[in-house]
Structure 1
Amino acid sequence: MHATNCLNCGTETEPSHQYCSACGQKTDTHRLTLGHIQHDLVHAVTHADKSIFSLVWQLLLRPGTVAREYVEGKRKKYFNPFAFLFIVVGLASVILISSGFTNFGANPRVPPNPVSAFFNKHVNLIIFLNVPLLAMFSSLFFRKGGRNFAENLVLAAYTSGERSVFFSLVIAPLWMLLHTQYYLMLTLYILSWFSYYAWASSRFHNGKKGVGFVKGFLVALCTQLVTVIIVSATYAIYFYFFYKRA
């Protein structure tokens, strides 16, 4: 058998090589068919060592360890944190909107307005806003731990993604069954999230686990407060400067 060229970058590859030494693409790249596409999709979602399903399970049991191993170099082992975040937040946003759990126009004392309409339609933006805020507060509270902002972003992305999974699989179904218990569901949701992030932080950062848990809880709390302030400020700006009273 003769040497061939990589179809991705053109580098010459030997017949015995399964991957291109320059770009890493498989050397047996074939013409696409519907069967190949189906196989690749199933493989991407369910492959045992790097699937979304596997990641969701691992993030349930050891979120801080997963994030720590990823930032320390074991990146081939795990699904990319930011791809994971975008996928699950997209799905959770559809469930949030369809379930009616998040309704920014529910307050009868607030007249219909474009701010509520925007937040109801783009609730995913609020979830995404939480990620850099979590990383920022984590960098501040754990500044002696040696993790930089980008590394804290990994923890924030993984845990925020798992938070969206928890909402989709647990909170939304409970809310639809117990529709009158909104504040109970909201309290359960927020406390579960604070505790989960605190536990993940205590395993992600170096130091005493108890101290790390408290700091992580405060990080989640501060992020929630700042998010509420930003949303409230948006309403205030609209009603003060743009709302035209009849």
Structure 2
Amino acid sequence: MNITCKNCHQTFKGHYCSNCGQTAETHPINLHFLWHDIQHGLFHFDNGITYTAKQLFTRPGHSIREFIEGKRVKHFKPISLVVVLATAYIALIHLFHIDVFVKTEQNSIPNYHIDIDQLKEWMISHFAWITLAFIPLHTIGTAICFRKQGYNFIEYFVLNTYKASQKLYVAILFIPILYHFSGTPSIDKVTKTLMLIDFVLYFWTNVQFFNYLSKTKTFLLTLLTHLIFWFIVFLIAICALLIIDKV
């Protein structure tokens, strides 16, 4: 049966207009429409975030490789997912007044005129941007260590963006534990546990993504990737401290 598109008036057959892409069936504007719009347009909970979360914790490397190769309809877009999860994480941190740093009597960084409390507050308030900024730094290490595997820098960037989302999912799940140990010396152990979990997930994802490499080689390259990342972060931190101290 021929259908006339209500958006561009093109005549077509099927579920979507061949000219503008609008669906053949348009629902009336009511509460059901608004709820579906919130789900689909803002959060895409119906088959975006939940589907991507399931994939990232059941077959992460395979699903990311399929996304890069073109299987993208059901996935939540990588950068948008990081922003949504990072925002949700910080919202929970503020809501429950969680201090993810160990409380100390030291007010400034030795040899630098930098207030530690102000630095902590800045890091928390800019968490989403810091998370996004870390992705290309991780990608530099990935592109160096896995340079012979046939992917370009942007494809490695997508890989690491989904890894960042994976990390944020875990961090959100750890909110009750972070709340329990907020500001105590034990929060440092929780942070280190999260870092270990992150590394295991990175390794597991790489094993599946680079499924033609041996696990031993993948482990060594994953470890080297992290060392390169932390070396770059260290250099940036030193440069930032020097610049701030001179201002």
CA distance in 2, matches of 1:123, 1:104: 19
Q: 1:2/1:186 Cα in 2 relative to 1: closer, same or farther (>3 Å)?
A: closer
Residue 69 (str. 1) matches residue 66 (str. 2): yes
Q: How does 1:22-171 map to 2 (within 5 A)?
A: 22-30=19-27, 32-42=29-39, 45-47=44-46, 50-97=47-94, 98-102=97-101, 107-110=106-109, 111-112=114-115, 115-170=119-174
Q: CA deviation at 1:211?
A: 0.9
SS at the partner of 1:198? helix
Query: Which of 145-154 and 76-85 deviates more?
Result: 76-85
Q: Which runs of 5+ in 1 are unaligned?
A: none
Q: In 2 relative to 1, CA 77–51 (structure 1 residues): closer, same or farther, beyond 3 Å?
A: closer
Judge which range, 213-222 or 128-137, deviates more. Answer: 213-222
How many residue pairs align between the two structures?
Answer: 235
| Partner secondary structure for residue 17 of structure 1 | coil
* Change over 3 Å in CA distance of 1:196–1:19 after alignment to 2: same
Q: Deviations over 1:78-124 (max 9, x none)?
A: 22222211111111233345412158998434352765543232122
Pick from 220, 226, 246: which aligns with 2:226?
A: 220
Per the alignment, residue 233 of structure 1 pairs with 239
CA contact (8 A) 1:163 1:193 kept: yes
Equivalence for 1:177:
180
Name the % identity.
24
Gaps of 5+ in 2: none
Residue aligning to 2:4: 4
Residue type of the partner of 1:162?
A: Q
- Describe the shift of the 1:228–1:5 C-alpha distance in structure 2 as closer, same or farther (beyond 3 A): same
The residue type equivalent to 2:208 in the other structure is R
Aligned residues of 1:58 and 1:66 also touching (Cα < 8 A): yes
CA RMSD of aligned residues (A): 2.7
CA positional deviation for 1:149: 1.0
- Check whether the contact 2:61–2:205 (CA below 8 A) recurs between aligned residues: yes
> 1:5: Cα distance to partner?
3.2
Q: Where do 4+ consecutive residues of structure 1 move more than 6 Å?
A: 103-106
Distance 2:6 2:105 in 1: 58
State the Cα distance separating 1:157 from its structure 2 match: 1.0
TM-score (structure 2 length as normaliser): 0.82
Q: TM-score, normalised by structure 1?
A: 0.83
Question: 1:62 deviation in Å?
Answer: 1.8
**CA contact under 8 A between 2:85 and 2:168: conserved in structure 1?**
yes
Separation in 2 of the partners of 1:159 and 1:199?
A: 11
CA contact (8 A) 1:131 1:156 kept: yes
Q: CA deviation at 1:183?
A: 2.0
Q: Is the CA contact (8 Å cut-off) linking 1:197 and 1:217 kept in structure 2?
A: no
Which residue identity lines up with residue 101 of structure 1 in the other structure? V
Higher RCO (CA < 8 A, seq sep 6+): 2
